[in-house]
Amino acid sequence: MAKRVGIVGAAITPFKGRWYQKTYYELAQMATREAVADAAISIKDVDSVFYGIYNDIFERACIPEHPLQGILGMQNKFGIRISNGGATGAYTVSAAHAYLAGERFKTALVIGVEKATDCFDFSSMSATPEVIKTIAWSGDTFFEQNIGWSASDSYAEVVLGYMDEYPGTLKPEITAQISSLLSQQARTNPYAQRQFDQVTPEEVMNSRYIVYPFKELEICVYSEGAAALILAEEETAKAIAKNSGKPIIWITGVGEANEHSFAGKNQKDMSHIVSDYLGAHRAYEMAGIKDPTKSVHIVELHDAFIHQLEISMAEFGLVPYQSVDSLIEDGLILPGGKYLVNPCGGLSYCGHAVGASNIMSAWSARNELIKRKLRTALVHGTGSTVSQYTACAILEHE
């Protein structure tokens, strides 16, 4: 029988559009220092470290985690890097969970960090085209990179595929309201990159197209920052929690799936995010959740794009495919509604420091479960071309 695994400490750095003051070394150490302090343990008590770093080019180094082993005080201990596109953070949590549940270690540091906006395009004298170019090296090397593949256009393919399948859904006024809602939720997150950037639905609708059908205010923002969790197996978690006085948030389910990267017969179904469906439902099964609409209270969802947030909610089984707009129209995610989605502002407003993002989401879900005395949260990460990768975790507060 696998051991139970719980979160006993968590911390993040502020997420910023640019951290001129810090390298990724210091960002990773900042989050780690705070996480061990939150758990009231010494770094010497941590047996293993799991690094979530997405893109070598962002950090300007292959195996960018290697200096962190010493900087984080983890020398001579187990260390492994996970890199799974946008889903890196969620997959890193999943990997750490597996090692602890399998009794390889008693404690683990899960540290995600990304330094994205050092990239700079000297032809347009701005960072963003170079940041998205760096991500564009993630497209298929033979068939897509040199015809303009980007993260935005590959997710837009799936969103448009969904809209082909379910016409009349993902209405612009609904995506605009969701973006506006997330901007309001970020207002209380002091670590959010856009804490003070509250936008109206009208502003969202008036914002420029980046990649049709996505407008500028319907897309997550690239960030720099780090996020850390301290995980422990059951007995150790209980001992740490007794000492720290903080409740344990148990990881009761994890689920993952990676789809085909090409479309067509026997390959990727472009009208769905099957990886989201499988990842969430595998996590539910492990957690013993029969009906997620009755069990899940908080969703910390990887909102790379607002349209995709809606589709992911449907794939999670939390809203019907044909009526995803009921998230707003029926008030399901509005204040006081059935689901609390991205209370931190999500990746759209807290920010997307890729390797750290889903770990930030787990940090937020843990905070909200404790603060609001709620029982169950779903944490989600999506990534790679055409939303190919998904990892999900179920967090539960006893």
Partner 1 sequence: MPEKRRKLIPDNFIPEIKSRVITLDNQDYLLQNDAMYTFYERSAGELSPFFLAIKNEKKILGCKCSKCGIVRVPPMMTHCPDCEFAPTKLVEVGQVGKMNTTPPITYFATSMFLDKAPFGRGRVILEGADTALSVMLYTTTGILVPGLIKKGTEVKVIFRDERVGQISDIYCIPTSELTPEQVTKKGLQESEINWAIPKEPQFPKPTDKDIANFRQYLKEMQSIAIKMSQSKRARRAIEGWKRDITVKTKAGEFAMRIDNGDFRVEDKKLASPDFVMACEDPKTLLDGLMYKGSITDSVITKRLWISKNLEFNTIFKLDRLARFLVMEQKEKTAK
Binding residue (CB under 8 A) for partner 1 from 1, 75, 76, 142: 142
| CA-derived radius of gyration, the chain | 19
Q: Which is nearer to partner 1, 9 or 161 (CB)?
A: 161
* 140 lies in the site for partner 1, by CB under 8 A: yes
Phi, psi of 120 (to 5 degrees): -150, 135
Report helix, strand or coil for 107.
strand
Work out how close the CB of 130 gets to partner 1 at its nearest, in angstroms, rounded to a whole number: 5
The answer to whether 296 touches 377, Cβ cutoff 8 Å, is yes
Q: Angle at Cα 87 formed by Cα 25 and Cα 22, nearest 5°?
A: 20
Determine the interface stretch with partner 1 among 64-72, 98-106, 171-179, 193-201 (rule: CB under 8 A): 193-201
Please give the order of strands across the beta sheet that includes 224-233: 78-82, 48-52, 107-115, 224-233, 5-12, 249-258, 389-397, 376-383, 298-300, 340-341
Q: Does 168 bind partner 1 (CB under 8 A)?
A: no
Q: Per the structure block, which two tokens stand in for 53?
A: 């770093």
323 binds partner 1 (CB under 8 A): no
Query: How far is Cα 155 from Cα 302, in angstroms, rounded to an integer?
Result: 13
Binding flag, residue 373, partner 1 (CB under 8 A) = no
Q: Which stretch binds partner 1 (CB under 8 A): 133-141, 222-230, 315-323, 348-356?
A: 133-141
| Contacts to partner 1 from residues 21-50, by CB under 8 A | 21
Residue among 157, 222, 170 nearest 388 (CA): 157
Site string for partner 1, 235-274 (x = CB under 8 A): ---------------------------xxxxxx--xx---
Pick from 26, 45, 121, 234 the residue near partner 1 by CB under 8 A.
Answer: 121
Tell me which residues touch partner 1 (CB under 8 A). 20-21, 57, 60, 121-126, 128-130, 132-133, 136, 140, 142-144, 146-150, 152-153, 156-157, 160-161, 163-164, 196-198, 203, 206-214, 216, 262-267, 270-271
